């Protein structure tokens, strides 16, 4: 079949109250060809990703709420940028250079995704957009916010690359104190359509031979263990549901294999069985949290959808969870004058089954 090259321009349609003072919440659409993405500056959040399937039929493939207001007391983190430190910090405490920090727990006795009001629950400023290029959200996190030390300047760029790739670049700069930084993009994907049911028939390959096992509170033990001959082994593609009961659902950090092939590492390939849609993911981060929506229960979603257990999957590239309390894990500490950069690239295609 002849490949149709779409024009290398896309429309950035802005439906917003305004974006001058950083206090207004708006919805922004990036569009290129028949691919469109809606975002909001509330949490720098992805609201929808509309893609063609193997027959050209368009569907929205990310889970979300009917309105922005639904995000305000939400614990699903649909599509949010989460931080200052994504994932869990054991005991909601850590030390840097002999200085001890106690955070306010929001997940039992632990801290999850930056605290009760993390980056997914703040209004970001729309810093700029360039027609045909990108949109940038920025947020100035203050010293002591949710208990974290130091002022931190944060930005997230969403950008179309070529005709079928989405780039996400998360950056942060510490201004005056050493601080942990670990940002993550928390979209839930269902490549057969957000309201199509569960993702158990999706096939996934993870380019990761090890995991960081956790205790009963989902805090890493500090070990790194191989996945071979366990229900966590997705080094060859298989259906997510094939051993999900043995695994008790998936909610674990995988150690991405270092192939030594430059800046970005291949993280995952996922295919929707019914739609033929395929998503590939690359990142520069050492880990990826693979989560299968185990906690979703009768969540009222957009377009009248009701999301049940396993309705979507998350692939959150990240530093390892609770790294601040495990010296053997890659450090997440950003010192004053240093910068953090987290890059993700998604590629979307659709194929008929062989």
| Binding-site sequence positions for beta-D-galactose | 87-88, 186-188, 251
Contacts of 114 (CB under 8 A, 6+ apart): 82, 83, 84, 85, 86, 120, 146, 148
Which residues are designated catalytic?
186, 316
Q: What is the 3-state secondary structure (H, E, C) of the chain?
A: CCCCCCCCCCEEEEECCCCCCCCCCCEEEEEECCEEEEEECECCEEEEEEEECCCCCEEECECCCCCHHHHCCCCCCCCCEECCECCEEHHHEEEECCEEEECCCCECCEEECCCCCCHHHCECEEEEEECCCEEEEEEEECCCHHHCCCCEEEEEEEEEECCCEEEEEEEEEECCCCEECECEECCCECCCCCCCCCCCCCEEEECEEEECCECCCCCECCCCEECCCCCCCCCCCEEHHHCHHHHCCCEEEEEECCCCCCCCEEEEEEECCCCCEEEEEEECCCEEEEECCCCCCCEECHHHCEECCCCCEEEEEECCCCHHHCCCCCCCEECCCCEEEEEEEEEEEECCCC
What is the token pair recorded at 1? Answer: 């079949």
Q: Which two tokens stand for residue 49?
A: 């990703």
CB of 287 closer than 8 Å to CB of 212: yes
CA 71/CA 260 separation, integer angstroms: 39
């Amino acid at each position: 079949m002849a490949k149709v090259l779409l024009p290398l321009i896309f429309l950035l349609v802005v439906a917003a109250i305004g974006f001058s003072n950083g206090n207004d919440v708006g919805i922004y659409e990036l569009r290129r060809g028949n691919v469109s993405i809606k975002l909001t500056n509330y949490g720098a959040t992805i609201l929808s990703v509309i893609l063609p399937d193997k027959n050209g039929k368009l569907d929205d493939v990310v889970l979300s709420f009917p309105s922005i207001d639904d995000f305000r007391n939400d614990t699903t983190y649909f599509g949010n940028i989460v931080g200052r430190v994504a994932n869990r910090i054991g005991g909601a405490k850590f030390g840097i250079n002999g200085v001890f920090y106690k955070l306010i727990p929001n997940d039992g006795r632990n801290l999850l995704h930056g605290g009760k009001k993390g980056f997914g629950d703040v209004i970001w400023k729309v810093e700029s957009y360039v027609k045909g290029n990108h949109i940038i959200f920025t947020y100035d996190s203050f010293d002591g916010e949710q208990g974290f030390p130091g002022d931190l300047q944060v930005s997230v760029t969403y950008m179309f690359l070529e005709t079928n790739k989405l780039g996400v670049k998360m950056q942060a700069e510490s201004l005056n104190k050493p601080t942990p930084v670990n940002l993550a993009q928390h979209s839930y994907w269902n490549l057969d359509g957000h309201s199509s049911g569960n993702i158990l028939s999706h096939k996934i390959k993870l380019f990761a031979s090890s995991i960081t096992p956790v205790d009963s509170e989902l805090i890493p033990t500090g070990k790194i263990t191989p996945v071979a001959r366990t229900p966590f082994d997705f080094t060859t593609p298989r259906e997510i549901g094939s051993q999900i009961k043995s695994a008790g659902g998936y909610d674990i950090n995988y150690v991405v294999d270092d192939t030594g092939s430059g800046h970005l590492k291949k993280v995952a390939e996922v295919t929707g069985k019914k739609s033929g849609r395929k998503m590939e993911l690359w990142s520069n981060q050492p880990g990826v949290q693979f989560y299968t929506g185990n906690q979703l229960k009768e969540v009222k979603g957009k377009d009248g959808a009701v999301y049940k257990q396993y309705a979507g999957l998350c692939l959150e590239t990240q530093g390892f969870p609770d790294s601040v309390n495990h010296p053997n894990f890659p450090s997440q500490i950003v010192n004053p004058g240093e910068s953090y950069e987290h890059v993700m690239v998604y590629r979307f295609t659709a194929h008929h089954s062989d």
